[in-house]
Structure 1
Amino acid sequence: MSGFHDIRFPDAVARGATGGPEFSTDIIAVASGFEQRNVNWSAARAKYDISTGIRTREQMAEVIAFFRARKGRAYGFRFRDWNDFEAEAQPLAPTTDPLIWQLTKQYASGPSADQRVITKPEAGTVVVRVGGSPILVDVDYLTGLITFDLAPATQPYADFLFDVPVRFDTDHLPVVAVAYHIQQVSSIALIEIRA
């Protein structure tokens, strides 16, 4: 992924952020009241507002420095979604190469499920199992690709922690200094980057 800095947004601010997955759906209603729904995206794209996580002058200074170092929307970075960052016993998705598999996370609800591709696992947290036994694999922490020495004979599973690749959704950081220790900002949006 070009234009990506492999650094995580400050956790203390991220813990207070709001947001989550977003889909794009067009709804066409006819005169009788029936609807036709067209799903535009096959996968969700997360959006966050980090302004709700800024509680101190020091945190605001850290966000300003982080924003300037990423040059607004120019460079992506890692973001910890504290509501969704853990995965246990998740099936890996095959690729065209039998030695290379992709980290994923399943979201099941009743008979329906959604599979999310994970591209930013946290270093040192990925444990891959085949037949219930942990095995050594090569993990690409910038793509979420897992490389086996030998093609697995059965479905591989993984436990891991992960971040979301995001970027600022603005090139302008509107901060108002109300007093020395009080700054106000209406919204600072982050948007997920799709690989």
Structure 2
Amino acid sequence: MAFHEQRFPLRLSLTSSGGPGRQTDIVSLSNGREARNRRWRFSRRRYDVGSALRSVADLYAVLEFFEARGGQLHAFRFRDPVDFSSARPDEGVTSLDQWIGTGDGVTTAFPLVKAYGDGAAVERRPVVKPVAGTLRIAVDGVERMTGFAVDATSGIVTFEEGHVPDAGSEIRAGFEYDVPVRFDTDRIEINLDAFRAGRIPSIPLIEVIP
């Protein structure tokens, strides 16, 4: 299997349903309390991009994309219609959105992450499929325009020689990103409901680690 750096057609993902899921073991104790254990370090997202009435052209686009991926064989990019950037949905991306590390004067590579928190706890999700051309970087609150690059296939930001962040400096980033997913089925069933239009009842996708 391989990862194809192709994005599922954006116009077909806007009506998708789904989101993050976790796996937690819960054991009821004899005193009435519960013991809870988190089995997954990070959440895993699932989506369904089926059900909406679509033109025959859109149905063919799904069919073509499915065949090119070999069904479940090859993973690909998917844009979550709600959670796709370092900023909140109603805000634009800035270079100060997310903390990605603290400089030590030596380290040149920093992985992109996105934090989710409410004061009681913070979860930092690795971002491995940033969208090319969207990255913005700031060091100690000052945006940098040059001296760094990002690998769009892994989410690793690398600073060039002469631009390595000094010890103690705060490194922040803003970016858009896709979710790495695969089809969670090896079958696509198309129903024609009207003239030149139809639907695919279910097209399940599941997040993968590329």
Same fold by TM-score, threshold 0.5 exceeded? yes
The C-alpha deviation readout for 1:79-115, integer Å capped at 9, x for no partner, is: 00010011142011479x7100011100011221110
More strand by share: 1
Q: Which residue of 1 aligns with 2:35?
A: 36
Contact 1:54–1:60 (8 Å) recurs in 2: no
The answer for the alignment partner of 2:151 in structure 1 is 140
Q: TM-score, normalised by structure 2?
A: 0.84
**1:193, distance to aligned residue in structure 2 (A):** 1.1
Q: For this pair of structures, how many residues does the alignment match? A: 193
Amino acid at match of 1:27: I
- 1:174: how far off? 2.2
Map 1:172-191 onto structure 2 (within 5 A): 172-191=187-206
Q: What is aligned with 2:135?
A: 126
Verify the 8 A CA contact 1:93 1:104 in the aligned structure 2: no
- 2:52/2:199 contact within 8 Å kept: no
- Say yes or no: does 1:152 pair with 2:165: yes
| SS of residue in 2 equivalent to 1:174 | coil
CA 163–94 in structure 1, closer or farther in 2 if over 3 Å, else same: farther
CA–CA separation in structure 2 for the residues paired with 1:187 and 1:30: 40
Amino acid at match of 2:115: Q
| Structure 1 residues without counterparts, runs of 5 or longer | none
User: What does residue 6 of structure 1 align with?
Assistant: 5
Amino acid at match of 2:35: Q
| CA-atom RMSD in angstroms | 2.0
Aligned-pair identity in percent equals 36
Distance 2:141 2:77 in 1: 30
Whole-angstrom CA distance in 1 between matches of 2:189 and 2:209 = 26
Q: What TM-score do the two structures reach when normalised by structure 1? A: 0.90
Is 1:113 the equivalent of 2:131?
A: no
Question: How far did 1:18 drift?
Answer: 0.4
SS class of match (1:194):
coil
